[in-house]
Amino acid sequence: MANFTVVTGFFLMGFSNTWELEVLHAILFLLIYLVALMGNLLIFTLISLDGKLHTPMYFFLKNLSFLDLCLVSVTVPKSISNSLSHTYPISFWGCVSQLFFMMLFAVSELFLLTVMSYDRYVAICLPLQYEVIMSSKTCMKMAAASWITGSLFGVIYTISTFTLPFCGSKEIHQFFCDVPALLRISCSDSHLAVDVTLVLAFTLGMFCSIYITISYGHIISTVLKIPTKESRSKAFSTCLPHLIVFMFFITTGDIAYIRPSQKYDPVVDLLLSMFYTVVPPTLNPVIYSLRNKDMKTALRKRIAWTYFSRGLIPKFYL
């Protein structure tokens, strides 16, 4: 009989055995985290305060910013702390919580990106019906469905993963608790529940990918028929960043989860995990705030109002 013991904790993977390189990693991750934190908070705040941005598109963008903020906060702060302390322990329940919230926010974001593509499809292809189709109640239901779907997958993935026995190494070859890394240290050769959950998640990902592809196919076809170059440019500037972020997110996530365990490479796994957990939350605020005219206008108004309230500029500049 196998000698099973109760697992009380794990050890996450460090980026280097050299203290100086670990400090460098901590500094780089801290800078990335601050960019993601400030960018998403800025978008969330501007949309909340500016009444002109209370539209379906910005409602979903506000939800996306909050999801990004949560997603990057699940993994990066712990990794920074581990690098600075040069120790990498994580408790059993800490690992459970990290996996659950990572799945919750990642799957919710996947579903929300799909909803956002539908919103853009209706706005560009069916503009006269936009206000009727994308009513406030409909938008709330779509956002709620995203969160509920993410929560369900978070629960299923967490339960199916942590009901497996861990009797060997406690070292997780990843900088956070991720399913593929946990499966590699499980002493069970059979993990049917995880495989079924993976199939469900892959099916959801394929559905979202196909739906987004079809939506953007209709959008591009409609945009190309717009007579004015300025209108075409505005439509593309709204949709293309969304498509780029989605491709980053879904492609790297799929590769990380469907790669055979025999082809495990710590460097490749590390890079892939960063692309679907760290890069999208950092890129989203940069893409949406710097390329979006309405967001830039709202930011200028907010800055001008702040200076006016302090008596630094005349009122007629607002």
CATH of the domain at 14: 1.20.1070.10
Output 164-170 pairs: Cβ under 8 A, ≥24 positions apart.
164/188, 164/191, 164/194, 165/2, 165/4, 166/7, 167/2, 167/3, 167/4, 167/5, 170/7, 170/9, 170/10, 170/11
Establish if 253 belongs to a structural domain: yes
- Which SS3 state, helix, strand or coil, does residue 260 take? coil
- Give me the pLDDT at residue 96, please: 92
H or E stretch covering 299:
helix 293-309
Q: What is the pTM of this model?
A: 0.85
Establish if 231 belongs to a structural domain: yes
Establish if 144 belongs to a structural domain: yes
Beta bridge partners of 11: 89, 171
- Give me the pLDDT at residue 261, please: 58
- Average pLDDT of each block of 10 consecutive residues along the chain (318 residues)? 61 79 87 92 88 87 92 91 84 92 92 90 89 92 94 91 80 85 79 81 86 87 77 69 76 74 66 81 76 73 66 50
Establish if 4 belongs to a structural domain: no
- Give me the pLDDT at residue 2, please: 47
**DSSP secondary structure letters along 102-134:** HHHHHHHHHHHHHHHHHHHHHHHHSGGGHHHHT
DSSP state of 311: T
Output 91-98 pairs: Cβ under 8 A, ≥24 positions apart.
91/8, 91/9, 92/7, 92/8, 92/9, 92/10, 94/9, 95/9, 95/10, 95/172, 95/177, 95/182, 96/158, 96/162, 96/177, 98/74, 98/176, 98/177
The answer to whether 189 touches 131, Cβ cutoff 8 Å, is: no
Establish if 1 belongs to a structural domain: no
Establish if 3 belongs to a structural domain: no
Domain assignment of residue 28, given as a range? 9-317
The token pair that represents 273 in the structure block? 């995990």
* Rounded-to-integer distance, Cα 317 and Cα 102, Å: 45
Establish if 196 belongs to a structural domain: yes
Count of structural domains, the chain: 1
Establish if 309 belongs to a structural domain: yes
